[in-house]
């Protein structure tokens, strides 16, 4: 398993653990008088969807898609994949920091979301050639 996949899966599992914990606290707030727990709801969704599911899917795709052994880089550009993973997680960290009260302006949140979206698009474009042989759309 490539190092990129190992680290992305580990980060995804950390987000899964944190997101599940936040979700359990929100669920317990339905029974117990914990009004503060509802403030964790948006970050719960961020962690579960953007912290767990997306990076896990990208990591497994990087590992499991077919390799072309006749190429110099059979998994695509590994440097580009590391860069997109870093950019994605940096954007996610900015969004989560805002959810926890960091004074980030609206333009910073928009920039973080754009960085995350571009990271996914660049990753997909780099891996696209592994889905089908070259020349087959």
What is the pLDDT tens value at each position of the chain, 137 positions in all?
899 999 999 999 999 999 999 999 999 988 888 888 888 888 999 999 999 999 999 999 999 887 765 667 778 788 999 999 999 999 999 999 998 888 889 898 999 999 999 999 999 998 887 776 666 65
Q: Domain residues of the chain, as ranges?
A: 3-131
d(CA 8, CA 106): 28
- Do residues 53 and 9 lie in contact, with contact meaning Cβ atoms separated by under 8 Å? no
Alpha-carbon distance values, 93 to 8, 15, 87, 88, 108 (Å):
14, 11, 10, 9, 12
Dihedral angle sign, alpha carbons of residues 25, 43, 96, 47: positive
d(CA 92, CA 6): 19
The model carries a pTM of 0.84
Residue 49 structure tokens: 């969807």
Residue 48 structure tokens: 């579960």
């Amino acid at each position: 398993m490539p190092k990129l996949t190992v680290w992305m899966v580990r980060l995804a599992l950390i987000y899964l653990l944190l997101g599940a914990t936040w979700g359990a606290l929100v669920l317990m707030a339905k029974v117990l008088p914990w009004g503060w727990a509802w403030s964790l709801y948006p970050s719960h969704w961020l962690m579960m969807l953007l912290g767990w599911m997306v990076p896990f899917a990208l990591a497994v795709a990087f590992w499991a898609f077919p390799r072309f052994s006749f190429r110099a880089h059979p998994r695509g550009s590994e440097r580009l994949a590391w860069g997109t993973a870093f950019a994605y997680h940096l954007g996610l960290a900015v969004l989560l920091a805002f959810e926890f009260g960091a004074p980030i302006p609206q333009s910073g949140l928009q920039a973080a979301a754009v960085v995350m979206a571009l990271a996914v698009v660049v990753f997909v474009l780099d891996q696209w050639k592994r889905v089908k042989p070259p020349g087959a759309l």
